[in-house]
Amino acid sequence: MATQHSRSAARLMISPAVLLLLGWMIVPLAMTVWFSFLNYNLLQPGPRTFAGFSNYYYFLTDPAFFTAIWNTLVLVLGVLAITTVGGVLLALLLDQPMWGQGIVRILVIAPFFVMPTVSALVWKNMFMNPVNGIFAWIAEALGLQPFDFLSQAPLFSIILIVAWQWLPFATLILLTALQSLDSEQMEAAEMDGASALARFFYITIPHLTRSITVVILIQTIFLLGVFAEILVTTNGGPGTASTNLTYLVYGQSLLQYDVGGGSAGGIVAVILANIVAIFLMRMIGKNLEN
């Protein structure tokens, strides 16, 4: 890319890909914005009239909206808490030399390869089912009343399922970070009189902060859009107890056939996600620079 000529040639050659991606993004976005200003319901035939901001008004004043925001927040933060703390602990464990290390590491990564729908169904039917689930069996074996996870603690159950899926990702990233820690630093700290706990807090955790921020950033992006796990387990219920923003938009447009309202919800979700992304990028960008 040294000369003016080669630079413009490069621009020319990447332009088709850029234009394609731009179109791919812009067309659906523009259509969603357009629909969000229309009275557009699949159950009401006839011309689609301009609706102004009424779709937004109804979506934002819907009591389910605030529940959904709250649930989204709880879901994202809950999963982040479990995966980062659990990931650090698991990474520490896997970093210890042991027999069959390679196989154990592959097994730990395995949940990440299972599709969200599949893993959610496995959890729903084989673990959390109050009749056939293994948790119910354990409870009965201990002489306790089986706990119906998905109806009594729906959001918590979904957090558990999603955390199970993302724990390997966090563990993997944190494990590689842990392996890059200079062993001489640990030895120096040992000679300086730091106990194992002090070494963990003063050396290991500061060394891991960068990777932890990366884990948080990537996971947040994906966790804001959790959908399949909710669809196949609770359907957002009971009531709206496990409805997040994505699921609310789905319900609006595909269960109530209100395309206009759903589009308005989609735009709201996009705006909120962007606000979160800007905050995260700033916070993490600062962290990555040092």
* Binding positions for other proteins, rule: CB under 8 A: 182, 184-185, 187-195, 198, 202-203, 206-207, 209
CB of 35 to other proteins, least distance (A): 50
CA distances from 212 to 88, 92, 127 (A): 9, 14, 30
Q: Which residues contact 117 (CB under 8 A, 6 or more apart)?
A: 228, 229, 231, 232
From the CB of 117, what's the least distance to other proteins, in Å?
Answer: 42
Q: 248: which residues sit within 8 A by CB, 6+ positions away?
A: 64, 65, 68, 236, 240, 265
Q: What are phi and psi of 98, to 5 degrees?
A: -155, 170
Give me the least distance between CB of 188 and other proteins, in Å please: 4
Q: Which two tokens stand for residue 116?
A: 């969200």
Q: Which is nearer to other proteins, 179 or 185 (CB)?
A: 185
Residue 246: CB minimum distance to other proteins, A: 37
Residue 52: left if φ>0, alpha if ψ -120 to 50, beta else—which one? left
Nearer to other proteins, 16 or 206 (CB): 206
Considering the complex, state which of residue 7 and residue 286 has its C-beta at the smaller distance from other proteins. 286
* Cβ proximity to other proteins, 225 vs 285, nearer residue: 285
12, 76, 174, 199 from 204: Cα distances, Å = 47, 25, 11, 7
CB of 187 to other proteins, least distance (A): 5
The residue (of 2 and 191) whose beta carbon lies closer to other proteins is 191
